[in-house]
């Protein structure tokens, strides 16, 4: 009989494409994992993986098997969640993804309140860009994720909890630095520095500013908002950041000015994403309300 353990091992190998790494992820020996997968292939009378000493490949029929195995795993996960649904809120282990342009500005505010109100909370965090987070939620690797909308997440539910605008950051004493509002047309595109490809904030800024593509002649970018701020301090250009990041990034940088981007609001919307059949919606609703609460306090 095919076991759930065998399917779990097979999915781990598909993810890592490496037997040793898959075994470590499953907390078993490599020999135990290999034996279980050999028994699975024998039971099914087909080959799921092609392997040699250097690489692991998924066979065409193996891809179909693994797609069905993933559905079975999700169904079993949902059953486990259902069994714990009536327990104390947030006490059942939950893994939450969050994008880098939200994590450092929300989590330090959220977790003190979370620990105070729900000391039994058992939450693990994964920081990653939007695209892999969406796929991880779809595949059941994450219970939920916090991303910024608009972003394509077809087939998933969205639970919005916050909206915010963007601010243009420049050195004080430079052109427009004394204004309280600024339009996108007034910002020098050749001096504008944005995050590298893959960060949805970059796409949101381009959309709000009605730019089809970045026109930064200096070809400067960064993987974090903190780095962009340091580049502005070095007089390499200007940048745009979300409102929630303004206090943390600007408060100790007296030489910088933050001017509200006067374009149609909101510039981005924050939301939890989850699978439609996820059984612990109430726990995510609790998290969403806490997020909204701490962001309201910090923005007042």
Over the stretch 17-38, which tens digit does the pLDDT of each residue have? Answer: 888 888 888 888 888 888 988 9
Q: According to the CATH classification, is domain 94-163+268-299 in 3.30.2010.10?
A: no
Q: pLDDT per residue over 141-168, tens digit each?
A: 899 999 999 999 999 999 999 999 999 9
Q: In this model, does residue 104 exceed pLDDT 90? A: yes
Query: How would CATH label the architecture of 166-261?
Result: 3-Layer(aba) Sandwich (3.40)
**39 against 164, higher pLDDT:** 164
Supply the pLDDT for residue 13. Answer: 87
Distance of CA 95 to the CA centre of its chain: 11
Cα 12 from Cα 24, distance rounded (Å): 10
Please name the residue that has the structure tokens 């998290």: 287
> Range with the lowest mean pLDDT among 66-75, 172-181, 275-284?
66-75
d(CA 271, CA 73): 25
Look at residue 146 and give its three-state secondary structure: strand
Structure tokens at 29: 């020996």
DSSP state at residue 216: -
Q: What is the pLDDT of residue 163?
A: 97
Q: What percent of the chain has pLDDT over 70?
A: 94
Task: Break the chain into its structural domains and give their ranges.
Answer: 4-84, 94-163+268-299, 166-261
Length of the chain: 300
- Mean pLDDT, residues 178-186 taken together: 93
**First vs last C-alpha separation in the chain:** 60
Read off the pLDDT of residues 268-281 as tens digits, 9 standing for 90 and up: 999 999 998 887 88
Closest CA to 167 of 227, 84, 257, 88: 257
pLDDT at 54 over 80: no
What's the mean pLDDT in 257-261?
96
**What gap in Å lies between CA 157 and CA 211, rounded to an integer?**
29
Q: Is residue 65's pLDDT more than 90? A: no
**Half-sphere exposure (Cβ direction) of 106: Cα atoms closer than 13 Å:** 26
Q: Measured on CA atoms in the order 164, 170, 172, 175, is the torsion positive or negative? A: negative
User: Same CATH topology for 4-84 and 166-261?
Assistant: no
Multiple choice CATH, 4-84, 2.120.10.30, 1.10.10.10, 2.60.320.10, 2.40.50.100: 1.10.10.10
Do 159 and 278 form a contact (C-beta atoms < 8 A)? no
CA distance 3 to 18: 21
**pLDDT higher than threshold 50 for residue 217:** no
What is the pTM for the complete model shown?
Answer: 0.75
Q: Does 215 have pLDDT greater than 60?
A: no
């Amino acid at each position: 009989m095919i076991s759930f353990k065998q399917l779990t091992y097979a999915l781990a190998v598909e993810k890592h494409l490496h037997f040793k790494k898959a075994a470590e992820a499953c907390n078993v020996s490599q020999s135990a994992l290999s034996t279980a997968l050999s028994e699975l292939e024998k039971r099914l009378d087909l080959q799921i993986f092609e392997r040699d000493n250097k690489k692991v490949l998924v066979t065409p029929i193996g891809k179909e098997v693994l797609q069905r195995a993933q559905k079975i795993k999700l169904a079993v996960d949902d059953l486990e969640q259902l069994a714990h649904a009536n327990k104390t809120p947030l006490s059942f282990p939950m893994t939450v993804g969050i994008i880098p342009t939200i994590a450092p500005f929300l989590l330090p505010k959220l977790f003190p309140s979370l620990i105070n109100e729900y000391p039994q909370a058992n939450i693990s965090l994964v920081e990653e860009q939007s695209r892999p987070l969406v796929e991880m939620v779809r595949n059941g690797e994450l219970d939920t994720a916090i991303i910024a909308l608009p972003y394509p997440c077809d087939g998933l539910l969205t639970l919005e909890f916050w909206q915010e605008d963007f601010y243009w950051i420049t050195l004080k004493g430079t052109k427009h630095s004394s204004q309280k509002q600024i339009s996108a047309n007034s910002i020098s595109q050749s001096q504008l520095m944005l995050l590298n490809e893959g960060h949805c904030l970059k796409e949101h800024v381009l959309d709000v500013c009605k730019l089809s593509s970045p026109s930064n002649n200096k070809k400067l970018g960064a993987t974090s908002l903190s780095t962009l701020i340091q580049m502005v301090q070095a007089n390499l250009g200007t940048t745009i950041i979300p409102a929630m990041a303004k206090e943390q990034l600007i408060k100790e940088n007296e030489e910088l000015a933050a001017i509200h981007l006067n374009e149609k609001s909101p510039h981005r919307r924050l939301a939890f994403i989850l699978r439609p059949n996820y059984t612990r919606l109430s726990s995510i609703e609790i998290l969403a309300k806490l997020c909204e609460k701490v962001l309201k306090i910090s923005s007042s």
